[in-house]
Structure 1
Amino acid sequence: MTGTYSCLSEVRDIVPCSVELPNGEETMALKEGTVFLGEALILRHVLFVPNLKCNLILMPQLLDDSDLVMQITNKICAIQDRTSRKLIGVGERREGVYFFKGVASTHACKTKGVGSSKLWHMRMGHPSFKVLEMISEVGSLGRNNNKECDICFRAKQTR
C-alpha cells in the first residue's frame, strides 16, 4: 500500500475496498498499480490509499509475487534473488517495522587476480569471513575486518 500516487506506474481503477490504517482509522483504496524498487524488485497490485502517510509492503505478498528469499532477524531483513542469491534490498527494524533500503549494484567487467576478501564477501551475498576462508584462493587473502561492508557493520551495531 502507498499514499504516494507518483511512485505507482501502470495505475488502474479498482472496486473501492476498505483499508485499516496503522492508527486504527478506516479509509478506502481506490486504485492499484506497480512499484519498481530498483531493477530487480517489482511490486504488483500495490493499493493506492490516499490518506496513508507511509508505504507498506506485505512480506507474504512479496514472496508470492517474486522469486525471492528473505532472511529475517530481530534487527534486519535481507532480500535476495532466489537463484543468484544477489542482495536486492535490506530492511532495518525500527519500532517493530522493517524500513526498506535498496542496495547499490556493483558490476565488475574484468579482474586481474583474485581480489580482496571484502570484494568476495560482497560478491557472494555477504557471507561470514569464516565461510570465505573455506574457499582456498579467497581464504588465502586473509581477513580484512577493519574494512567491513556497511551492511554487515550496521548489523553488528544493532545487535
Structure 2
Amino acid sequence: MEFRIGTGFDIHRLEEGIPLVLGGVEIEYNRGFKAHSDGDIFFHALTDALLGAVGFGDIGSLFPDNDPKWKDADSSLFLKKAVDIVKRSNFEIVNVDSYIILEKPKILPYRDRIIENTAKILQIDKNRVFLKGKTYEKLDSIGRGDAGIAHVVVLLKREVEK
C-alpha cells in the first residue's frame, strides 16, 4: 500500500457585493471573496491538496487566474478535475481534514451542508470529510474580517503491486 499526503492553503480578501461561497454552498453574508473565479477558498485549498498529493502541480497551473475562461467559474469544476486526476493516478481519497478561518460569519450552521457537498464531489462517505471553523481572534486582516483562509490536508492511498 502506498500513502500520500497533500496540503492546500488559500486566502482571499472579502468585499461587499460578492456572494460568499464555501464548499460550493452559498453562505448568507454581505461580503464574499474577491477572486477570478467564485473565490471558494475551501475548494481551492482542497484542489491544491489533491493535486499536490499526486504530484500534479497546483490549481494555478491548471486553471490560471489570467485566463478569461475561468472568470467567475464555479470552483467545484476545479475540484472535480482534481478528483479525476487522483482517480486516474489510481489513488483513493482516505480522508480530508480542514479549517476555514473567518472572523464572520460562523461556519457551524453551514458545516454539514459543506461536508455533504464536498463528500459528494469527492465520491466518498461524508464521515471521511471534516471541517473546522475558526476565528483569528481579532488579529491581523483575518481577525478584522477583511479576508478568509482555508487549510486542508488530504490522505490518499493506492494498492502497490509486489
Which band: TM-score by shorter chain? under 0.3
- Structure with bigger helix share is 2
Greater relative contact order, per chain length (Cα 8 Å cut-off, separation 6+): 2
Select the structure of larger CA radius of gyration: 1
